[in-house]
Structure 1
Amino acid sequence: MNTPMILDALAAVQRAILANEAQIESLDRAIGDGDHFINVRRGCEVLVVMAPELNGVPPGLALHKIGMKLLGTIGGASGPLISSFFMAMGKTLEGIDEPDRRQFAAAFASGVEAIKTRGKADVGEKTMLDVLIPVSRLLLKLADEDTLLPALCAQLTQEAHHNMLATKDMIASKGRASFLGERALGHIDPGCKTCEVAIAAVCETVLRQVTPSEAA
């Protein structure tokens, strides 16, 4: 996962987020603050604009720069969380020009841990972590087992989708949804939907770009 692939994946995430605008906004109106999609869209737009200045930059530094840019771009509660994710990934990949799967999995895990620490949340609280933590754990396992890339991406996409749907049956204990109590039941967490969309987009991008030998 070099810098060009990271930038292509982020562009794909932007397209996927825009394609799912109606559903994400609807979910946020139901149990969120109503500004989740606006903030995420703003962040995606900024990353696409800054992509040219990241060409030729090592992955770790590129991810750190992305995190710093998002810190001053994305509003609401999600801004500091998402920026922490990218900066933690960047720190983990510092000095590595071509991260392999295990290295990228470790970086992703560190990013998720940064969100968990900063947001003081965990699995089962109806937040984006209900998708990110299970996906991170699975990615570490599959990378360690040298799972073939098509199977790895398929399992990650399925894991994200399954855990996103599972938030329907959760009562939120963090964020605005926590004030709704049982009224939040039956609604998917909007942050989880956004993460599910993003993970699927990244997986599709990776699969399109790898050679047959790299997929093995």
Structure 2
Amino acid sequence: MTAAAASVEREAARLTDLDSAIGDADHGSNLQRGFAAVAKTLEAEPPRTPGAVLTTAGRQLISTVGGASGPLYGTLLRRTGKALGEAGSVTADELRAALRTGVDAVAQLGGAAPGDATMLDALDPAVEALGTSFDAAAEAAGRGAVATVPLQARKGRASYLGERSIGHQDPGAASSALLIRALADTADQEGAR
């Protein structure tokens, strides 16, 4: 989560620029505020398990991030954390299964599916590729985010633009790719490959 917060901090302006073309130009600033609060909360009271880290982070995002991003990212992290349970450590396979639970919860909450030009276009292929490696998941998420450019948004604020949403990368897919890359980089540093 610390790496995710740092990544969002670095990329907040780009995320906001992406959002300004098809949304309300606050995606980067909202996530920046939310992940800064997550980092502060986790530093002040470090949870004991990976699942608790994610559920705590999810609750914090819901309470500090406006718009749809707070509930969507909060749901992703909380459901993933709950699926991990109270285990003191988790395997890559356990993380993949838990992340699938979180991504499915996001799909249900937002009523979206891959191909709708949403965060799911990055998250869904990342979960599938996580079975191969963390790097493969990050690469798949990045490709998924870029693949939203030619799509017409069918969900979220961008869907109101209809065909005018075509040609713009979805900011939620871009931020999801950042988070998966932060996970992969952290796993690499920790030797979790």
Q: TM-score, normalised by structure 2?
A: 0.93
Q: Give the C-alpha shift of residue 135 in structure 1.
A: 0.9
Unpaired stretches in structure 1, ≥5 consecutive residues: 1-9, 143-151
If asked which structure has higher relative contact order (CA below 8 Å, sep 6+), I would say 1
Q: Deviations over 1:140-183 (max 9, x none)?
A: x32xxxxxxxxx13312221121111101100011111111111
Provide the aligned C-alpha RMSD in A: 1.5
Q: Deviations over 1:100-157 (max 9, x none)?
A: 1111111111111111111111111111011001111222x32xxxxxxxxx133122
Show CA shifts across 1:38-91 (max 9, x none). 211111111111113442522222322222222211110111111111111121
CA distance in 2, matches of 1:178, 1:73: 24
Q: Using the alignment, how far apart are the partners of 1:56 and 1:133 within structure 2?
A: 27
Question: Identity of aligned pairs, percent?
Answer: 34
Q: Which has the higher Rg, Structure 1 or Structure 2?
A: 1
TM-score, normalised to structure 1, is 0.84
Cα distance in 1, alignment partners of residues 91 and 125 from structure 2:
21
Contact 2:33 2:64 in 1 (8 A): yes
> Following the alignment from structure 1 to structure 2, what is the Cα–Cα distance between the partners of residues 184 and 110?
29
| Other-structure match for 1:70 | 61
Structure 2 residue 163 is the aligned partner of structure 1 residue 172: no
Q: Which stretches in structure 2 are left out of the alignment for 5+ residues? A: none
Contact 2:62 2:70 in 1 (8 A): yes
Cα contact 1:54–1:62 (8 A) shared by 2: no
Provide runs of 4+ in structure 1 moved above 4 Å: none
Alpha carbons 2:47, 2:53 under 8 Å: kept: no
Alignment-derived partner of residue 205 in structure 1: 186
Report if the CA contact (8 A) 1:85-1:111 is conserved.
yes
Further displaced range: 101-110 or 13-22:
13-22
Distance 2:150 2:121 in 1: 12
1:81-160 alignment to 2 at 5 Å? Answer: 81-139=72-130, 141-142=131-132, 152-160=133-141
CA distance in 2, matches of 1:176, 1:42: 20
- 1:196 corresponds, among 177, 180, 190, to 177
